[in-house]
Structure 1
Amino acid sequence: MTVSLSNANLQKLSGKAAIPRYERSDLAAGIVHFGIGNFHRAHQAVYLDDLFNLGLDHDWALIGAGVTSYDGAMRAKLASQDWLTTVVEQDVGLSAARITGAMIDFLDPSDRTGMISRLCDPAIRIVSMTITEGGYFINPATGHFDPNHPAIVADASRPDEPQTVFGLIVAALKARRNAGLPAFTVMSCDNIPGNGHVTENAVAGLADLSDPEFGAWIRANVAFPNSMVDRITPATGTREIDHCAREFGIADAWPVYCEEFRQWVMEDHFPAGRPALEKVGVTFVDDVAPFELMKIRILNGGHAAIAYPGELLDIHFVHEAMEEPLIRAFLAKLENEEIIPCVPPVPNTDLGDYFKLIERRFSNPKIGDTISRLAQDGSNRQPKFILPSTRDRLSRGEDVTGLALISALWCRYFEGSSDSGRQITFNDANAERLQAAALASRSDPLAFLALDDIFGDVARSDLFRRRFVTALASLREKGTRVTLQTYLDDAL
């Protein structure tokens, strides 16, 4: 028998899952978080739930927020269960459920005025976000904020009617300044190098377009700490909903499944105050960059590396890709020969051991993470996770056989069918343009590299071009398996 997730049913669920050890009615909001997706609920919300379970910092509860139709749908699901979430941690010998209660409200995405009003509440001292790599209006080729993006142009022309997360933040900061209130800290929880700097450039850059003086004020008065976040968290579907009901007896409209491992490294720059997250495992450091670069290049880059051969070989789950000897060996060779050598030293960390940990995490059969999830949004992920390593090696005069092969695999993927002829379903804002370029590359192999906003100066390297063309020809003529083996034999 299943029990519906709700405040009223928490005690009934205590034998099925760990429940909050605090009174949720005692919580008060201190954080507004944009992007209440699975990762946030498996990461930041879990750390706060741990802290509240210690009896600490109950004035730092979460309020959800968002600006998309997805956010509205998530709000409706969570409202039906009093903002509670079932988080299921999965490892080879572990499957444990907990119910988190750190979120106490979710702002209506259609009420922008109400959102700005809540952001102006003096109790709100942190505004955080998990809006994906593509949500920061970055030009992929330059890596800089794009003031010409249509959504940014629209918010700049109507700053009192913001539609983006950054427009809402700018409007709220201006209202707080006008009311004599201190600025809140703006904290990114996305996988972007220098995510704090990127967020500052987006917020202040947007303000510059309508009020340069206020843009300067933001840079001088608002904190944007950098952070590194890590926890593999697949998408939720009927598989997870049914498993949660069957194994734990919990009827949750959108449970979160994740690995046991989690990590959060943050720059300690919170002038308006912060919760004592160091008491629940968060690492505060002066410089996040080494940890961030390690994770983005080795883990996120590794995910990007196995996504496209996995899709072309009709592999569904990530752990199944790691069970395929060719893909596992390809990942290891690529990481050890081309990616890890580009990663600077990280305090108290052996990069070889870190990669072994990544291999174990990718191989976890309980997670149920899918290759299709890793393959989505490549137009934002490739420029952040793969091409920086390519660029670094080219600048040092080093070969890029494996990294160019990833770009070729991405191109081959966007032709729209796997090696067996299975139709591939794309999930990328630029899918139409990418597929057109991939199809054009059948007659002109360099047509895909002409996507200058993605490849930039990398595509102008003769070495990279040669490696890309050779790999793409092999993928088309011999298939993915033979091409991977040729690379492993140092014959590509």
Structure 2
Amino acid sequence: MTRLSSQTLGRLPASIRRPAYDRAALQPGIVHLGLGAFARAHLCEYTDDALERDFGAWGIVGASLQRPDQRDRLKPQDGLYCFLKRAPEGPQLRIIGSVLDVLVAPEDPAALVTRLAAAETRIVSLTVTEKGYCHDPATGRLKDDHPDILHDLEHPDAPRSAIGLIVAALRIRKREGLAPFTALSCDNLPHNGMVLHGLVRDFAALRDDALSQWIEANGAFPATMVDRIVPATTEADIAEVAGLLGLKDAAPVIGEPFRQWAIEDAFALGRPKWEDVGAQMVSEVAPFEFMKLRMLNGAHSSLAYLGYLAGHETVAQASGDPILARFLQGLWGEIIPAVPAPQGVDLKAYAGDLLSRFQNPAIKHRTWQIAMDGSQKLPQRLLGTIRDRLKAGASIDHLALGVAAWMAYVAGTDEAGAPIDVRDPLATEFARISAAAGRDAGALSQGLIGIEAIFGADLPHQATFTQAVARHLESLFAKGAKATAEAVSA
């Protein structure tokens, strides 16, 4: 089958959207480190939209920090690829044209540093995942003994970490009298701009105090909050896209129609007009992070545990169950009063959008996958809200059921008596407590709430909380997830 490329764009069906600007005239202005599926379904689409509204030198040069796969897929296609949005009413397709080139750091790190240091590079954005920051997530500080950091200190002209690449390029820009580019983290890290700023500054200080001070005085590191569900592309997806396009696309991306991007408006050398195409340029991103954590992530986890126990394999199936959908509405009713509304956001409308997203049958998010690592997720997703509600003397019935459902899940047996594959750093401790407690809800809840790393020193002594959790857990064991959720939402 003929490959998608600039030369074959004209063969596409007329119904498929393609770039409505002159790609031949597009010049690079953004270098993106970590050009994975999420970046191509989020940053690249927003930029493609902005170029159609207000054309400028904002083309994207992607950089792969580990493997050449992305370059090898996109280069023969002139950077073009299809974005397939899976909507309940059917697939939506468009061709994204904002990516001009892809570099591979391990093959030629100097070439990537040169591109980063070039005067025309005004934004360096990142989606390198949390581990790509070479930092301690608990403190946000640089791990100066990280193998990649040690390598980059010893080989400053051939860095392999994102932090090392950024600092190497900023060093050249300082030497040549150029202003620093804006470094824009698009990773799902709390306070990502502040974290990136500190890591770049600290790494620079290990090499050159003057460089670190220059970055501190002149650098720009806006915070962002990104949101879109982008499942991994499968061979079946590639075949489906080929059938719809009539052309072979080796690099399609799959995502939901919903997208959100809140960006701190603090750029050193300009930016695309992303606000004209739906991004929210704000003075502070933290409220958006907080909203997402409590409303989206808190609901996701609660639904995952109840849904799994009730026999639902995916979030769409679980949230499409009328009983569990009513539970979500009640849960958000408890969460919303504990969430300050971010600038320009209606929290009830946001909850409605979340339910629609959860119920999208075309996006298959497994409840088991979301249920992983609950010991790491519960403190931020649910327990913070519970503490706030307890201080206010407000109801925590739905929130407590979310915690009880987690307990029933980590006890290791589903409602049909089948074993649950519990994936969690504390899985061994859960199994020990569960074996001792058996199906005694009081003993099990007391044992699990006693894990201070999860529940702290305060919640085990909050009778309103402990009694509500034990009551719900007893009901889950006796009546099951759906009956318990129906009773709490009655």
TM-score range (shorter-chain normalised) is 0.7 to 0.9
1:127 aligns with 2:124: yes
Paired with 1:148 and 1:469, the residues of 2 have a C-alpha distance of 46
1:436 aligns with 2:428: yes
Q: Which residue of 1 aligns with 2:304?
A: 307
* Greater displacement, 457-466 / 315-324: 457-466
Contact 1:317-1:371 within 8 A present in 2 as well: yes
Per the TM alignment, residue 357 of structure 1 is displaced from its structure 2 partner at its CA by: 1.9
Contact 1:405-1:467 within 8 A present in 2 as well: no
Contact 2:64-2:70 within 8 A present in 1 as well: no
Unpaired runs of 5+ residues, structure 1, are: none
Paired with 2:406 and 2:139, the residues of 1 have a C-alpha distance of 20
1:255 aligns with 2:247: no
**Structure 2 CA distance for partners of 1:50 and 1:134, relative to 1, 3 Å:** same
Per the TM alignment, residue 125 of structure 1 is displaced from its structure 2 partner at its CA by: 1.0
Q: Which residue of 2 aligns with 1:66?
A: 64
Q: Which residue of 1 aligns with 2:440?
A: none
**Structure 2 CA distance for partners of 1:209 and 1:377, relative to 1, 3 Å:** farther
Q: Which amino acid aligns with 1:35?
A: G
Unpaired runs of 5+ residues, structure 2, are: 438-443
Q: Which residue of 2 aligns with 1:189?
A: 186
Q: Which residue of 2 aligns with 1:266?
A: 263
For normalisation by structure 2, the TM-score amounts to 0.82
**Structure 2 CA distance for partners of 1:203 and 1:367, relative to 1, 3 Å:** same
1:287 aligns with 2:272: no
**Structure 2 CA distance for partners of 1:380 and 1:216, relative to 1, 3 Å:** farther
Q: Which residue of 2 aligns with 1:198?
A: 195
Q: Which residue of 1 aligns with 2:50?
A: 51
Q: Which residue of 2 aligns with 1:95?
A: 91
Matched length: 478
Provide the secondary structure at the position in 2 that maps to 1:344: coil
* Greater displacement, 312-321 / 102-111: 312-321
Q: Which residue of 2 aligns with 1:359?
A: 355
Provide the secondary structure at the position in 2 that maps to 1:265: strand
Provide the secondary structure at the position in 2 that maps to 1:235: coil
Provide the secondary structure at the position in 1 that maps to 2:171: helix
Paired with 1:134 and 1:391, the residues of 2 have a C-alpha distance of 30
Provide the secondary structure at the position in 2 that maps to 1:99: strand
Q: Which residue of 2 aligns with 1:167?
A: 164
Provide the secondary structure at the position in 2 that maps to 1:182: coil
Q: Which amino acid aligns with 2:26?
A: L
Residue 233 of structure 1, aligned match among 227, 230, 234? 230
Per the TM alignment, residue 387 of structure 1 is displaced from its structure 2 partner at its CA by: 4.8
* Greater displacement, 380-389 / 242-251: 380-389
Paired with 2:410 and 2:463, the residues of 1 have a C-alpha distance of 18
Paired with 2:400 and 2:38, the residues of 1 have a C-alpha distance of 30
1:344 aligns with 2:340: yes
Paired with 1:472 and 1:210, the residues of 2 have a C-alpha distance of 55
Q: Which amino acid aligns with 2:60?
A: L
**Structure 2 CA distance for partners of 1:271 and 1:148, relative to 1, 3 Å:** closer
Paired with 2:318 and 2:42, the residues of 1 have a C-alpha distance of 25
Q: Deviations over 1:139-185 (max 9, x none)?
A: 55x56436477457646754725443223222322232233221110
Per the TM alignment, residue 372 of structure 1 is displaced from its structure 2 partner at its CA by: 4.9
Paired with 1:136 and 1:413, the residues of 2 have a C-alpha distance of 32
Paired with 1:143 and 1:383, the residues of 2 have a C-alpha distance of 17
CA-atom RMSD, angstroms?
A: 3.7
Structure whose alpha-carbon radius of gyration is higher? 2
Residue 174 of structure 2, aligned match among 166, 177, 180? 177
Per the TM alignment, residue 412 of structure 1 is displaced from its structure 2 partner at its CA by: 5.7
Per the TM alignment, residue 42 of structure 1 is displaced from its structure 2 partner at its CA by: 1.6
Per the TM alignment, residue 60 of structure 1 is displaced from its structure 2 partner at its CA by: 0.9
Paired with 2:395 and 2:291, the residues of 1 have a C-alpha distance of 20
Q: Which amino acid aligns with 2:425?
A: R
Paired with 2:87 and 2:118, the residues of 1 have a C-alpha distance of 41
Q: Which structure has more RCO (C-alpha within 8 Å, separation ≥ 6)?
A: 1
